[in-house]
């Protein structure tokens, strides 16, 4: 079972950033020299010369296949005819603190072990103050449709792609720093990310992974004393916050906007190059010599995007900013901003408190996905024949059907139903309607249904302890629904109530990253107490398993009264 390192108590976690101006690579021989000069290592010290650079990376494939910006100037500007610009991270100022680390990523993705924690320069490596050997920092050029309109050039304005790491299993992972300083794409931004948004991204991307939702991962969170100024609610209240860097990983960071900008800029040759690269690297089921490969690619993205959004819905996740620049070509969840997990069931739930129109409400996500796929299709037009274009349009018309069938598959599993019966859609819709009317908690209603016995459901003897189900059962039609549900379950031959509960508990989490939980951890983190970040991280690595510490912290209890006053802070 994944465990989390108790970072808050690590003696070496707090280090002064004696960071040289500009990131530099440690020359190989300095390790040896340092070893010879330094006093005897402390007990338990295991890093060797090899550990001097905790990780070796490469950027050969990216650099060898994709055009690089010919202008070397790092100033903010319009960039043409390339996929990446060279850009060095700007080291964070002041004391650095390794505030959190994912042991699962460390071990299962990066093939490292705890001994790397002894490395005195680790916080620098994880925040851009030092570079892993073989890395070649890049900022990606992309565009995007934001809030329905073409926004022109966007690009990595505060992120640096370090290169790729190929692990023992042969998986390729692209490592990226977020909050690591300005790039040619920074527009008016300062290139930084604040502690608050970084804690949220770190915790949520890891939590989503353990909820089995396709997502980017996060290795670490480094916080600094560097002051960063933010207007948290866009209301003129500028506040000093602390800069932080998350090291995040994905098989690829390309977005729908990565292709869009090439079409908008009239660069079909670069578009073709990027598409061929993405297909060859990440869509290995497609034959690169197939003349229909771009249609096959589109088909796969349509399918997987429907799948991703259905998964979001099945855990009550609202991304919050579904712009085409925030939508991965690999259909993994990326760019955690003002996201939220829905508590009281409400299809109009909007996590971004400034999104007054509810453009990105939880219930609108499937449609927004369609809008984004339409933009993807437009971006592909230069490489499609007329016939292929109409094939692609036909595929897109199938999107609602794919989405609905995924959605129902996931919700049938959430209810423990075996097989697919005509009335199942009605049973699901009926339940959601009861939840909507009563404002029952989404996550815990399903969890309590996984924990309650059929007998209790049947004779309407729900106890207050099962608070979400208790709320639901106040509905005048609850017993009608329960009757149908129990009938449906009883018709499953060879199934037992224990088996049903067991199946349901494996897909209905007891813990999700509720806003109030993140907020409480952030308040402590602001004053260097990372214990709650750690507790949340640990809890959320096993969201389907009841845990003592999580229960005492109230993570499955009715949200505290102050939670309802919270607004998601938008600036990041
Ligand atoms: C669609 O996605 C599902 C789930 O990832 C996969 O099993 C299926 O093979 C995909 N179908 C196509 C046509 O890509
Ligand atoms: C996601 O979208 C928002 C709004 O379009 C944009 O400001 C942001 O830079 C994008 N990326 C991330 C990492 O949030
Ligand atoms: C929240 O929504 C508002 C209104 O649409 C938008 O201007 C703002 O950029 C959004 N916040 C983020 C972080 O994307
Ligand atoms: C529910 O009903 C069954 C059978 O009618 C009965 O034996 C049982 O005691 C009831 N359970 C509760 C908790 O009321």
Half-sphere exposure of 381 (CA within 13 A, CB side): 11
Q: Which atom of ligand 4 is nearest to the CA of 455?
A: 1
Q: Which two tokens stand for residue 180?
A: 């690591």
Phi, psi of 85 (to 5 degrees): -115, 145
What does the pLDDT read at residue 469? 97
Which of these ranges, 10-19, 308-317, 362-371, 450-459, has the smallest mean pLDDT? 10-19
Contact present, 308 and 373 (Cβ < 8 Å): no
Residue 423 falls inside a structural domain: no
289 and 203 inside one domain: no
Q: Work out the percent of the chain whose per-residue pLDDT is above 90.
A: 84
Ligand 1 near 311 CB (within 6 A): no
Phi, psi of 354 (to 5 degrees): -90, -5
Interhelix angle 399-414/386-397, nearest 10 degrees? 30
Nearest ligand to the C-alpha atom of residue 144: 2
| Distance separating alpha carbons of residues 213 and 543, to the nearest angstrom | 12
Q: Structural domain of residue 237, as residue ranges? A: 40-250
What does the pLDDT read at residue 517? 97
Ligand 1 near 300 CB (within 6 A): yes
Q: Indicate the residue among 250, 265, 299 that finishes a domain.
A: 250
Phi, psi of 226 (to 5 degrees): -65, 125
| Distance separating alpha carbons of residues 443 and 471, to the nearest angstrom | 13
Residue 347 falls inside a structural domain: yes
How far does Cα 310 stand from its chain's mean position?
15
96 and 129 inside one domain: yes
| Distance separating alpha carbons of residues 141 and 147, to the nearest angstrom | 19
94 and 226 inside one domain: yes
Quickly tell me which residue has 């892993």 as its tokens.
Answer: 132
162 and 288 inside one domain: no
82 and 215 inside one domain: yes
Residue 296 falls inside a structural domain: yes
Residue 14 falls inside a structural domain: no
Count of domains for the chain:
2
- pLDDT(267) > 60: yes
> Which one has a higher pLDDT value, 29 or 145?
145
Ligand 4 near 463 CB (within 6 A): no
Residue 72 falls inside a structural domain: yes
Ligand 4 centroid–CA 448 distance in Å is 18
What is the Cα gyration radius of the chain? 25
Q: Indicate the residue among 250, 279, 302 that finishes a domain.
A: 250
Told to judge if 190 belongs to the known catalytic residues of this protein, a careful annotator would answer no
What does the pLDDT read at residue 571? 67
Contact present, 293 and 363 (Cβ < 8 Å): no
Counting other chains too, the contacts that 72-79 makes at CB distance below 8 Å and 24 or more residues apart are: 73/184, 74/182, 74/183, 74/184, 75/184, 76/182, 76/184, 76/185, 76/186, 76/187, 77/184, 78/153, 79/141, 79/153, 79/155, 79/184, 79/185
Ligand 2 centroid–CA 254 distance in Å is 14
Closest CA to 373 of 273, 300, 432: 300
404 and 261 inside one domain: yes
Nearest ligand to the C-alpha atom of residue 143: 2
Q: How confident is the model at residue 568 (pLDDT cuts 50, 70, 90)?
A: confident
The whole-number average pLDDT for the span 336-362 is 93
The whole-number average pLDDT for the span 299-324 is 98
Ligand 4 near 460 CB (within 6 A): no
Q: How confident is the model at residue 570 (pLDDT cuts 50, 70, 90)?
A: low
Q: Residues 6 or more apart from 497 whose CB is under 8 A from it?
A: 453, 454, 455
Ligand 4 centroid–CA 416 distance in Å is 22
Q: Indicate the residue among 408, 429, 453 that finishes a domain.
A: 408
Ligand 2 near 337 CB (within 6 A): yes
Ligand 4 centroid–CA 455 distance in Å is 7
> Which one has a higher pLDDT value, 359 or 44?
359
| Distance separating alpha carbons of residues 570 and 572, to the nearest angstrom | 6
The whole-number average pLDDT for the span 221-229 is 95
237 and 288 inside one domain: no
245 and 266 inside one domain: no
Q: What is the bridge-based pairing of β-strands 24-25 and 130-131?
A: parallel
Residue 523 falls inside a structural domain: no
In tens, the pLDDT along 146-180 reads 999 999 999 999 999 999 999 999 999 999 999 99
Residue nearest to atom 13 of ligand 3 (CA): 570
| Distance separating alpha carbons of residues 168 and 275, to the nearest angstrom | 27
What does the pLDDT read at residue 39? 40
| pTM of the model as a whole | 0.90
Q: Residue 113, Cβ neighbours under 10 Å: how many?
A: 11
DSSP E strands, 217-276: 217-231, 238-250
DSSP assignment, residue 99? E
- pLDDT(381) > 80: yes
- pLDDT(355) > 90: no
112 and 242 inside one domain: yes
Residue 240 falls inside a structural domain: yes
Concatenating the DSSP letter of every residue in 185-223 gives T-TT--S-EEHHHHHHHHHHHHHHHHTT--B-EEEEEEE
Q: Alpha carbon of 322 to those of 302, 362, 393: distances in Å?
A: 15, 11, 21
105 and 237 inside one domain: yes
In tens, the pLDDT along 72-129 reads 888 999 999 999 999 999 999 999 999 999 999 999 999 999 899 889 899 999 999 9
What does the pLDDT read at residue 223? 97
212 and 290 inside one domain: no
Q: Residues 6 or more apart from 316 whose CB is under 8 A from it?
A: 341, 342, 345, 362, 442, 443, 512
Q: How confident is the model at residue 523 (pLDDT cuts 50, 70, 90)?
A: very high
168 and 108 inside one domain: yes
Q: How confident is the model at residue 33 (pLDDT cuts 50, 70, 90)?
A: very low
Q: Considering 104, 325, 335, 471, which one is annotated as catalytic?
A: 325
| Distance separating alpha carbons of residues 241 and 534, to the nearest angstrom | 21
Residue 520 falls inside a structural domain: no
For 28-50, b/e burial (b = at least 16 CB within 10 A) is: eeebeeeeeeeeeeeeeeebeee
- pLDDT(333) > 70: yes
The dihedral built from the CA positions of residue 106, 108, 112 and 113, taken in this order, carries a sign that is: positive
């Amino acid at each position: 079972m994944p465990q989390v390192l108790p970072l808050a108590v690590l003696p070496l976690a707090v280090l002064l950033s004696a960071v040289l101006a500009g990131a530099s690579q440690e020359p190989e021989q300095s390790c040896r020299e340092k070893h010879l000069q330094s006093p005897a290592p402390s007990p338990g010290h295991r890093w060797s010369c090899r550990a001097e650079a905790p990780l070796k990376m490469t950027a050969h494939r990216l650099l060898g296949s994709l055009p690089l910006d010919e202008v070397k100037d790092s100033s903010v500007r319009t960039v043409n005819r390339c996929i990446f610009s060279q850009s060095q991270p700007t080291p964070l100022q002041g004391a650095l603190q390794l505030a959190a680390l994912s042991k699962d990523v460390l071990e299962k993705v990066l093939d490292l072990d705890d001994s790397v924690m002894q490395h005195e320069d680790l916080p620098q490596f994880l925040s851009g103050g030092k570079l892993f050997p073989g890395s070649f920092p890049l900022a990606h050029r992309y565009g995007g449709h934001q809030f329905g309109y073409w926004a022109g050039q966007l690009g990595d304005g505060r992120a640096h792609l370090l290169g790729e790491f190929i692990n023992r299993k042969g998986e390729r992972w692209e490592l990226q720093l977020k909050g690591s300083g300005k790039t040619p794409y920074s527009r008016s931004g300062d290139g930084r990310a604040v502690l608050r948004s970084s804690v949220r991204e770190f915790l949520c991307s890891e939590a989503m992974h353990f909820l089995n939702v396709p997502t980017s991962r996060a290795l670490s969170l480094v916080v600094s004393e560097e002051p960063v100024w933010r207007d948290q609610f866009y209301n003129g209240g500028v506040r000093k916050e602390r800069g932080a860097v998350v090291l995040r990983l994905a098989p690829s960071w390309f977005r729908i906007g990565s292709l869009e900008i090439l079409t908008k800029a009239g660069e079909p040759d670069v578009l073709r190059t990027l598409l061929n690269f993405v297909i060859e690297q990440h869509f290995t089921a497609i034959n690169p010599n197939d003349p229909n490969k771009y249609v096959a690619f589109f088909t796969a993205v349509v399918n997987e995007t429907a799948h991703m959004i259905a998964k979001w819905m099945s855990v009550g996740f609202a991304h919050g900013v579904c712009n085409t620049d925030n939508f991965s070509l690999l259909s993994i969840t990326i760019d955690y901003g003002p996201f939220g997990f829905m508590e009281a069931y409400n299809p109009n739930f909007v996590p971004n408190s400034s999104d007054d129109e509810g453009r990105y409400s939880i219930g609108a996500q499937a449609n927004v996905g369609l809008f984004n796929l339409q933009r993807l299709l437009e971006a592909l037009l230069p490489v499609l024949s007329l016939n292929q274009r109409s094939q692609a349009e036909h595929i897109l018309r199938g999107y609602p059907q794919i989405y609905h069938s995924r959605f129902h598959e996931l919700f049938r599993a959430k209810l423990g139903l075996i097989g697919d019966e005509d009335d199942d859609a009605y049973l699901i819709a009926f339940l959601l309607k009861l939840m909507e009317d009563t404002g029952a908690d989404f996550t815990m209603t399903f969890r309590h249904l996984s924990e309650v016995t059929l007998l209790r459901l049947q004779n309407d003897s729900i106890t207050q302890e099962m608070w979400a189900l208790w709320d639901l059962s106040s509905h005048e039609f609850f017993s009608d629904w329960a009757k149908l549900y129990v009938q449906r379950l009883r018709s499953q031959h060879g199934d037992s109530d224990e088996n049903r509960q067991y199946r349901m508990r494996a897909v209905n989490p007891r813990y999700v990253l509720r806003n109030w939980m993140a907020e409480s951890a952030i308040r402590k983190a602001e004053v260097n107490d990372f214990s709650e970040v750690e507790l949340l991280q640990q809890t959320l690595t096993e969201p389907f398993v009841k845990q003592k510490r999580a229960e005492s912290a109230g993570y499955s209890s009715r949200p505290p009264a102050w939670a309802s006053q919270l607004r998601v802070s938008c600036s990041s």
